[in-house]
Amino acid sequence: MSRHISTLNLHLEPADNQRLASLCGPFDDNLKQLERRLGLEISYRDNHFQLLGKQAQVDAAAVILKHLYVETQPLKGGKVTDITPEMIHLAVQESRVLEQEDDDSSSPSYGKEVTVKTKRGLIKPRSPNQAQYISNIVRHDISFGIGPAGTGKTYLAVAAAVDALERQEIRRILLTRPAVEAGEKLGFLPGDLSQKVDPYLRPLYDALFEMLGFERVEKLMERNIIEVAPLAYMRGRTLNDAFIILDEAQNTTTEQMKMFLTRIGFNSKAVVTGDITQVDLPRSTKSGLRHALEVLQGVDGLSFNFFESKDVVRHPVVARIVQAYEAFDAAQAESASAKPNRANIREESAQ
């Protein structure tokens, strides 16, 4: 067993107690999370770290610690950047995908030419699927991002829109989604139009605020450079020089999807995101996103990106939840397909 265990001594320079405290986290929580995720042991004294585990995990942990230590560099005013559990999670996931990339040279490279620049810094993909998604958005007029929650579909689309606006490739950003409750009946909502639809559009606002800041988003919205509206208000419009994002597209009807896709004008891009496993429409209504996947395959100028549970960039348990639901649905489908076969066997034996 010992032949498979490697030890690596790592020295982080320059030695800085505040930066080291940020890296390790309160009560060494960050290091403990790294140990659990990668399956190794980490001990340290001052800025000298010792990593003990399998060679691949040790190498990955060393790269992560070096990268995160760089991230702790003081900001303006001398305040050290705090390393959060989310940053640890994303760094671990990225290291695992990079390891897969080394094993599969045919996979597309990522994190380099497909980074997106915003006022808050560079936003880069965390998996090959995310990299392909951004690349397709750049190269196609209409792109579909389909997959489970937490895979960055909407966030990356908003980032690409902000980047295009900053480069002056477009003149405005338009964000929309169908106003459908998630399995609930909220009834009458008080207030004016904005107050009625804002709860449905909150995820889009959150992404914009994170990338541009609250004040700048407010100013751009006042000038109608950024517009957030329910899908019903798209009918009859022709959108030129715009970046349009349709979020939660699984809750569109077939008519709404056709209406949206035919709004695209000259020098415009559209991104359609959704999760076909979370449709909140009535059972008798077919999802416009499902219908579009059937109708639009092979149409020039369109791209389709399908995300999986391994692309989830939220809390690690989210990926496991998605996998559990996928396994359950697959088992249910297999059981349903087996029932007619058993019935046929009984009929044949009776004859």
- Check residue 271 and give its pLDDT: 94
DSSP string of 145-199? EE--TTSSHHHHHHHHHHHHHHTTS-SEEEEEE----SS-------S-HHHHHHH
Neighbours of 336 (CB within 10 A): 9
* H or E stretch at 272: strand 269-274
- Check residue 113 and give its pLDDT: 44
- pTM summary value: 0.62
- Check residue 119 and give its pLDDT: 63
Neighbours of 279 (CB within 10 A): 20
- Check residue 312 and give its pLDDT: 77
Distance CA 125, CA 106 (A): 18
Q: Could you give all domains of the chain from N- to C-terminal order, each with its CATH number? A: 2-103 (3.30.1370.10), 116-314 (3.40.50.300)
- Check residue 27 and give its pLDDT: 87
How does pLDDT run along the chain (351 residues), one tens digit per residue? 444 678 899 999 888 899 999 999 988 888 988 887 788 889 999 899 999 888 888 888 999 999 899 988 887 777 888 888 878 877 887 776 555 544 444 444 444 445 666 666 677 787 788 888 988 898 888 999 998 888 888 889 998 898 888 888 889 999 888 876 444 444 455 555 556 566 667 778 888 888 888 888 889 989 989 988 888 778 778 788 899 999 889 989 999 999 999 888 888 899 999 988 888 888 888 899 999 988 998 888 899 999 887 777 766 676 677 778 778 877 877 777 766 655 555 555 555
Closest CA to 269 of 143, 159, 156, 123: 143
- Check residue 91 and give its pLDDT: 82
Pairing verdict, β 41-45 and 48-53: antiparallel
Q: Mark residue 228 as left, alpha or beta (left: phi above 0; alpha: psi -120 to 50; beta: remaining).
A: beta
Sign of CA dihedral 143, 145, 151, 152: positive
Distance CA 337, CA 342 (A): 10
